[in-house]
Structure 1
Amino acid sequence: MNFIIVIMFFIYLLAMMGIGLIFYFKTKDLSDYVLGGRQLGGWVTSLSAQASDMSGWLLMGLPGAAYLMGMGSIWIAIGLAIGTYLNWRIIAKRLRIYTQVSGDSLTLPDYFENRFRDSSKILRIVSAIFTLVFFLVYTSSGFVAGGKLFSTVFGISYIKALTIGAIVIVVYTFLGGFMAVCWTDFFQGMMMFGAVIVVPIIAVKSLGGISESVNIIKGINSNLLSPFMDLKGYSIPLISIISSLAWGVGYFGQPHILVRFMAIKSAKEIRKARIIAIIWVIFSLSAAMIIGMLGLAYLDTPLVGNDSEKVFLVMVSKIFNPVLGGFLMAAVLAAIMSTADSQLLVTASSITEDFYKVLFRKNASEKELVFVSRLAVIIVAVIAYCLALDESSSILNIVAYAWAGFGATFGPTIILSLFWKRMTRNGALIGMIAGGITVILWKSLSGGIFELYEIVPGFIISIITIIIVSLLDKEPDDEIKREFDMVKSKSKE
């Protein structure tokens, strides 16, 4: 079986790198490389956004949580579904318009600087620093997932598996930039959707139908089917439910998702993209939960601890023939690559646009900036690779930390910058710092209130800080107010 899966993987990887090569020759300037010249269609925008959002944890992390906790983990899925809808409904259109009107901004730090007319560059640099810190953590989660996948499928050491996965991701991101990442994510998103839907259907059929599957799970532990009870029969603490639902507010600050909104070719495409994205998310999250719970009924040998994140892989190897199994395993690789490539590109873009160009080479040519972006992809990948060397790392825990970091650092700033005219540069700056630092400090503490997911205090403190500092600060210039009103007017069209 391994030989056939190797062939399937090889074909898939060649196709992804082929896309990278195609866009290598189409990339003419930095805008093409980091934002695709704002030419994404609705389908590519929606599926690439959701594929880069969900990543390897959709097929590994979330099923693993459901395998260990049953329906008690559903609150994460509910929070993410609500957050996805609100992000597309509230943020997408206005961010697309604002980033183009305000200096044709290519990155979030670029947008913040243009939005608040920050000639000091400090807002851009601080936001770029947080982008770099949290994306290094986030990218390492993708590398960990890739290492676990190759190690499980091919029976090779984790380090060898990690190295193979990292090299492939770097190659096509290095070559093709944003358009290569989005088009590969488009195909990867379809593969992920197909895999996550097919596996539970076949598993339920092989177990004798829905009723029999439910009865088997009940026989293992009836509490697995309750969203309000843990496995020992105790009520799930309110703090745990709030923490899980809070994943949803993280969407407002995720650069690799927000950049898709910035790149769509027209604000009119957003409604179609939103509908596609919501359907994809609801079905995918539901199926991922079901996969984890069916694993309890289907697998003979229990998976312990972080090995629970391999439940999808083990089920595929048991259920399907080598050819289809190879395709589904490639879908897991697609899920991993679709996020890691986006994270690499956004981080490299920030290094180029917000550090190199601002601090070192203000008059750098477009060709030079594209070269620096490609070099940054390699440097960031090497650092993320080093962070991923610990095989015992939990994919879900790594993602949760990075997700909280971005959500609390950028989420409140994005929301208020789009909808509050009175917000000032100092409010944005201090708010971002307050949110990011709160997440880092809160994560280092434990017990009592500190069991609350760090995104909650980080998000709240950031919002309060932005409002207080902005109100104490002098009002924005008339030029900034006029631009805000223009964006508001365009958003209603």
Structure 2
Amino acid sequence: MTMNTPMVVTFCVYISGMILIGLFAYLRTKNFDDYILGGRSLGSFVTALSAGASDMSGWLLMGLPGAIFVSGISESWIAIGLTIGAYLNWKLVAGRLRVHTEANNNALTLPDYFTHRFEDKSKLLRIISALIILMFFTVYCASGVVAGARLFESTFGMSYSTALFAGAAATILYTFIGGFLAISWTDTVQASLVIFALILTPIIVILAVGGVHTSMLVIDTKNPEYTNMFKGLNLVAILSLLGWGLGYFGQPHILARFMAADSHHTIKNARRISMTWMILCLSGTIAVGFFGIAYFSSNPGVAGNVDRNSERVFIELAKILFNPWIAGVLLSAIMAAVMSTLSCQLLVSSSAITEDLYKAFLRKKASQKELVWVGRVMVLLVAGVAIYLASNPENKVLGLVSYAWAGFGAAFGPVILISLVWPRMTRNGALAGMIVGAVTVVVWKQFAWFGLYEIIPGFAFAAVAIVLFSLMGRKPSASIEQRFNDAEAQYRTV
């Protein structure tokens, strides 16, 4: 039995299990509502872990550990910003969005919610928001495909081009078959696998170096700046890293989890579970990158792959330090992180095409069965585009994620947040916010003014545009205000 055989067996067992869950979900999928939101039936535990797993993609086990391995603990400002942003998203948005989407014609997607929330008969909100979803999600999906390809490439010695298809195939299959229920159930398994890997791996790395004290001495000897939280960072750089937290308010694949909860009362327990999971995972991923510095400094003979690509630090530690069978489980955790996010992104993109373009403009009277199958075909289409975008082997996971994260955070974040707390917001305000947010991100990214992460100006300018255009226009209709007040009253019921 070769070193790779246990890993192959473990991967096959894991992926087969995910596909079986997809087949079981297929039997539970009766209509398009089931396929897109699982019939709004998720309990607190599944809602919590599904939201966390769909958020923490391959960057959790590859991008962020790689950044910390290169730059030291200063990169953990991202984790701080994400933790704050996630908590505020659960606190301010989750429960309200669950209630308001149901109150607005049982909206299944964000474009559907925007259309009914603001009574947009022109359907401009639906078109613009669906196009924004497709534009940024193709980039986001590409990041997941890249992460999966890197994993298969390094684990099984595949060429990058072959690994692209191998890494994406299983995710595409169970998303195609089972839809939202398959994704939510598999996310729960995958989230458990990820937290296991991120608690176990740093402990073994520390022990391999000789303990925390020895590890810190090795890191300090290599570069004392690695332990400096402010290493090479000015105020703009720190704000840029913290600014990642703003992205949570506008991520369609995370917001879909809130919309699918069985009740807004479920959200409170889900928030506690999800935040605990998230803090443990982020702490673990920081520790992997940070103590990985000590391990590879002490063992330079095995550092070649990590020196060539820092995003492989977790992969290499798992392969070197663990029995091949355990390593296979740990590497499956990377696949779990990739699959959980990629699957949800594929489904949200598919739903944007199916519900917000195909049904809204081409086949208004399409049957439920037809919509489900159109949705499945769209999963394949979006996946194909993502694989094409990921075909450049020079792509970096964190770079692709940061652009898509900023795009959604700026285009949708202020619109979602303000629409749930301000009844005076209008259709024109929402439209202006989306366009200003998306355009700011695209333009700011090209010019990189002041070195500031594009989500911050995008979010700020979008929020200002929403308020200004809402106040400049006529007040919302009485029916809009009534629905808002009814939803808010329902949200506040105990």
- Which residue of structure 2 lines up, in the alignment, with residue 272 of structure 1? 269
Q: Does 1:463 align with 2:463?
A: yes
- Which residue of structure 1 lines up, in the alignment, with residue 382 of structure 2? 380
Shift of 1:71: 1.0
RMSD over aligned Cα atoms:
1.0
Shift of 1:272: 0.6
Match of 1:330 among 329, 332, 335: 332
- Which residue of structure 2 lines up, in the alignment, with residue 69 of structure 1? 71
Shift of 1:306: 7.0
- Which residue of structure 2 lines up, in the alignment, with residue 485 of structure 1? 485
**Structure 1: distance between partners of 2:307 and 2:41:** 44
The normalised TM-score by structure 1 is 0.97
Q: Which runs of 5+ in 2 are unaligned?
A: none
Shift of 1:304: 6.2
- Which residue of structure 2 lines up, in the alignment, with residue 43 of structure 1? 45
Match of 1:173 among 172, 175, 178: 175
3-state SS of the aligned residue for 2:284?
A: helix
- Alpha carbons 2:306, 2:312 under 8 Å: kept: no
**Structure 2: distance between partners of 1:302 and 1:227:** 27
- Distance of aligned partners of 1:303 and 1:155 in 2 relative to their CA distance in 1, 3 Å threshold: closer
Aligned residue pair count:
486
**Structure 2: distance between partners of 1:23 and 1:64:** 35
**Structure 1: distance between partners of 2:331 and 2:184:** 21
**Structure 1: distance between partners of 2:91 and 2:460:** 21
What amino acid sits opposite 2:254 in the alignment?
I
- Alpha carbons 1:181, 1:342 under 8 Å: kept: yes
**Structure 2: distance between partners of 1:63 and 1:118:** 44
Match of 1:245 among 238, 242, 245: 242
Identity %: 49
- Which residue of structure 2 lines up, in the alignment, with residue 413 of structure 1? 415
The normalised TM-score by structure 2 is 0.97
What amino acid sits opposite 1:291 in the alignment?
V
Q: Does 1:263 align with 2:297?
A: no
Q: Does 1:254 align with 2:251?
A: yes
**Structure 2: distance between partners of 1:317 and 1:164:** 20
Match of 1:5 among 7, 17, 24: 7
Shift of 1:26: 1.6
- Alpha carbons 2:305, 2:316 under 8 Å: kept: no
- Alpha carbons 2:145, 2:390 under 8 Å: kept: yes
Q: Deviations over 1:208-232 (max 9, x none)?
A: 11111111111111110010123xx
Residues 420-459 of structure 1 aligned to structure 2 (within 5 Å): 420-446=422-448, 448-449=449-450, 451-459=451-459
3-state SS of the aligned residue for 1:25?
A: helix
What amino acid sits opposite 2:458 in the alignment?
G
**Structure 1: distance between partners of 2:489 and 2:406:** 32
**Structure 2: distance between partners of 1:90 and 1:135:** 24
**Structure 1: distance between partners of 2:308 and 2:395:** 8
- Which residue of structure 2 lines up, in the alignment, with residue 210 of structure 1? 212
Match of 1:400 among 395, 399, 402: 402
Q: Deviations over 1:284-334 (max 9, x none)?
A: 111101100111111222566771000000000111001101100111110
Question: Is the deviation greater in 94-103 or in 294-303?
Answer: 294-303
- Alpha carbons 1:130, 1:436 under 8 Å: kept: yes
Q: Deviations over 1:444-483 (max 9, x none)?
A: 113x52x110001110110000000000000000111111
Q: Which runs of 5+ in 1 are unaligned?
A: 231-235
- Which residue of structure 2 lines up, in the alignment, with residue 233 of structure 1? none
**Structure 1: distance between partners of 2:420 and 2:211:** 49
Provide runs of 4+ in structure 1 moved above 4 Å.
302-306
**Structure 2: distance between partners of 1:109 and 1:458:** 20
- Which residue of structure 1 lines up, in the alignment, with residue 164 of structure 2? 162
**Structure 2: distance between partners of 1:382 and 1:374:** 13
Shift of 1:79: 0.2
3-state SS of the aligned residue for 2:447?
A: coil
What amino acid sits opposite 1:72 in the alignment?
S
**Structure 2: distance between partners of 1:340 and 1:34:** 15
**Structure 2: distance between partners of 1:167 and 1:121:** 35
